[in-house]
Amino acid sequence: MALKKVSKKKVAQPRKTAGTSSSIKVALLGFGTVGSAVARVLSARKFSGIELTHIFNRNAERKRTSPAARSVPDSVLWTESIEEILRSDVDIVIELMGGLNPVEGWLRKALTSGKSVVTANKQLIAYRGAKLARIAAQHNVQLVYGAAVAGGVPVIPGMLQGLCGDQITRLSGIVNGTCNFILSRMESGAAYATVLADAQHAGYAEADPSADVDGYDARAKLCILSRIALHAELDPDTVPTQSISTVEAIDFAYAKELSCTIRQVSQAELDGRTVHARVGPMLVPLSSPIAWSHGTQNMVVATGRFGGDTVFSGHGAGGDPTAVAVVSDLLAVAQRCATVQLPVRKRKVTSDFLAPHYLRFVVDDKPGIVSAISGALAKVGANIDSILQRPGHPKHRLPFVVTTEPCLTSTIEQALRSIARMDCILEPPLCLQMLTVDDKADDVEAVKEE
Ligand SMILES: NC(=O)C1=CN([C@@H]2O[C@H](COP(=O)(O)OP(=O)(O)OC[C@H]3O[C@@H](n4cnc5c(N)ncnc54)[C@H](OP(=O)(O)O)[C@@H]3O)[C@@H](O)[C@H]2O)C=CC1
Ligand SMILES: N[C@@H](CC=O)C(=O)O
């Protein structure tokens, strides 16, 4: 495919250095799962007018001689010196190392020296994206990060361009492939630790996998989506996260009895000047499309005032799908495609959601426990919807479940603080929000109005 020369009107340009060939020169920072997949895609697709000239990685010789480097042209310069990249006549830097430091400083220098940047780094874009975008604009270059949310699913370009005419009020879905891989395998009976190890081996997990399982990766992605879809700038540290690591096999059994499964769900909803936002494992009805995402699939539902629900779905992690998003961004920058810019406002986060809740207790069974727990819930005004107790568990360590009718998370947490202090409670209760499907949404709306 040849890259056409297009008009340079008002669009940030990759800066060309006098005396270089007409090709757009590209440097890859980071030759790991995604970096090596990008090199592979570039080699397979052979886009004319794009030339991979540099690869930067610590201990570059180890990377250069690895099997993953087979697709890298001999002409590429492998380096451990970031200065060599920054001083070079490279037009576009693709950053695939991850983390805030030292990457932020290096990318600032790249942008100020006139190089456009493509990155898949969600932490960087969630925390520093607004500042880096300003630097890019000041230097008439581009900062593009389509792979930073949902890997290979074009949710960022879809929101930036395809849905910018709507007024998006709500985002919900699955934006972490590792958690979806783990939870959907646990649903089929696999053990948490085994599947986490598989996800790491397959290159889906972050360098520190607690970023995945504890929700920080999804939180960063949710903040990026909030910025571009809700036009709300959130401080990622204020968005509450709940780990999936406390979900156990028994929870999938109880979820099934409730015609649900469990998925890590990220949600953000505009409410005047605040945004309700959170990331955590939720009970999801089997009838919801979110329950149908298996393995590394991601699914984002954007609800618009005019267009209603739009669903984005596909592979959210893994080298090849992510590389597709990175290479698509690279082509967009190389062809000088402009993106729509709309004003973004800082918004405060509230963690409260009105939803039914699933509460799993592990107790040393004795008479009066159910009445004590229901009393604590009644005291805060939470109404019980069902009580489930599966047979076959020892009385001295009995897991049982209470589900509630829709109520605020803060209300449930208040009750759980007093329940956790009861002598019979053997471990901290597990509290999961339950996603409501459309027919139940009316009930939630009714409670909201009360
Ligand atoms: N994997 C995935 O499915 C997806 C990843 N992403 C994002 O893409 C980025 C890359 O992820 P991924 O490829 O999985 O990560 P990897 O850990 O596989 O690759 C990162 C590469 O960068 C190198 N590197 C890291 N820090 C430095 C540094 N300070 N100096 C020099 N080299 C460095 C690493 O070297 P070394 O081998 O020595 O550690 C490694 O080769 C991250 O931001 C990630 O969040 C986004 C979407 C999906
Ligand atoms: N670790 C991330 C990789 C992609 O962003 C995930 O599992 O989603």
Question: How many angstroms is it from 276 CA to the middle of ligand 2?
Answer: 23
Distance, in Å, from the CA atom of 384 to the CA atom of 367, rounded to the nearest integer, reads 19
* 178 Cα: distance to centroid of ligand 1 (angstroms): 15
Apex CA 347: angle with CA 341 and CA 352, to 5°?
Answer: 130
pLDDT higher than 80, residue 201: yes
> Of the listed 25, 63, 115, 221, which one is catalytic?
221
Q: Considering the chain, what is the average pLDDT of its residues?
A: 92
Pocket mutation for ligand 2, best pick of 122, 156, 178 (most atoms within 8 Å of C-beta): 178
- Terminal alpha carbon distance of the chain: 60
Q: What is the model's pLDDT at position 446?
A: 43
Cα gap 376→315, rounded to integer Å: 43
Atom 3 (ligand 2) nearest CA: 317
Q: Is 206 in the pocket of ligand 2 (CB under 6 A)?
A: yes
Pairing of strands 92-95, 77-79: unpaired
Whether 433 and 282 have beta carbons less than 8 Å apart is answered as yes
**pLDDT (tens digit per residue) in 379-404:** 999 999 999 998 889 999 999 999 99
Query: How many other C-beta atoms can be found within 10 angstroms of the C-beta atom of residue 17?
Result: 11
Number of other residues whose CB lies within 10 A of the CB of residue 165: 10
The CATH classification number of 354-449 equals: 3.30.70.260
Is 30 marked as a binding-site residue? Answer: yes
3-class state of residue 173 by DSSP? strand
Instruction: Judge if 24-144 and 354-449 fold alike in CATH terms.
Output: no
CB of 62 closer than 6 A to ligand 1? no
Please list, residue by residue across 322-361, b when 16 or more beta carbons sit within 10 angstroms of its beta carbon and e when fewer do.
bbbbbbbbbbbbbebeebeeeeeeebebbbebbbbbbbbb
> Is the separation of the CB atoms in 332 and 425 below 8 Å?
no
- Report which bound ligand comes closest to the CA of 122: 1
Residue with tokens 């090709």: 23
Residue-range domain boundaries for the chain: 24-144, 155-313+338-350, 354-449
Q: Quick: pLDDT tens for 55-95.
A: 999 999 999 999 999 999 999 999 999 999 999 999 999 99
Per-residue model confidence (pLDDT) at position 338: 87
* CATH pick for 24-144 out of 3.30.1330.10, 3.40.50.12160, 3.40.630.10, 3.40.50.720: 3.40.50.720
| HSE (side-chain half, CA atoms, 13 Å) at 299 | 19
Report residue 21's pLDDT band, with 50, 70 and 90 as the boundaries. Answer: low
Q: How many CB atoms lie within 10 A of CB 143?
A: 23
CA dist 426 → 81, 249, 359 (Å): 54, 18, 14
- The one-character DSSP state at 53 is E
Say how far apart CA 112 and CA 86 lie, in whole Å.
Answer: 10
- 22-42: average pLDDT: 97
How much is the pLDDT for 9? 35
Side-chain half-sphere CA neighbours of 408 within 13 A: 11
Are 128 and 105 in contact, with CB atoms under 8 Å apart? no
Cα–ligand 2 centroid distance for 265 (angstroms):
14
Global pTM value? 0.93
Rounded mean pLDDT, 148-160: 97
**33 a known binding residue?**
yes
317 Cβ closer than 6 Å to some ligand 2 atom = yes
Contact 185, 332 (CB under 8 A): no
Mutate to test the pocket of ligand 2, among 217, 225, 265, 279 (most ligand atoms within 8 A of CB): 217
Cβ 321 under 6 angstroms from ligand 2? no
177: Cβ below 6 Å to ligand 2? yes
Site to probe by mutation for ligand 1, drawn from 31, 57, 224 as the one with most ligand atoms within 8 Å of Cβ, is: 57
Find out whether 47 is annotated in a ligand binding site: no
Ligand 2 site, residue 217, Cβ cutoff 6 A = yes
Which has the minimum average pLDDT: 46-55, 176-185, 259-268, 432-441? Answer: 432-441
Tell me whether residue 122 is annotated as binding.
yes
Does the beta carbon of 178 sit less than 6 angstroms from any atom of ligand 2? Answer: yes
**Residue nearest atom 4 in ligand 2 by C-alpha distance:** 317
Residue closest by Cα to atom 37 of ligand 1: 32
Instruction: Find the largest Cα–Cα distance for the chain.
Output: 86
Cα(33) to ligand 1 centroid in Å equals 7
CA-to-CA distance for 441 and 427, rounded, in angstroms?
A: 32
Cα distance between residue 160 and residue 338, in whole Å: 11
Calpha distance 164→274 (Å, rounded): 20
Catalytic, 221? Answer yes
Q: Specify the CATH architecture of the domain 155-313+338-350.
A: 2-Layer Sandwich (3.30)
pLDDT above 70 covers a percentage of the chain that reads 92
Residue 162, SS3 per DSSP: helix
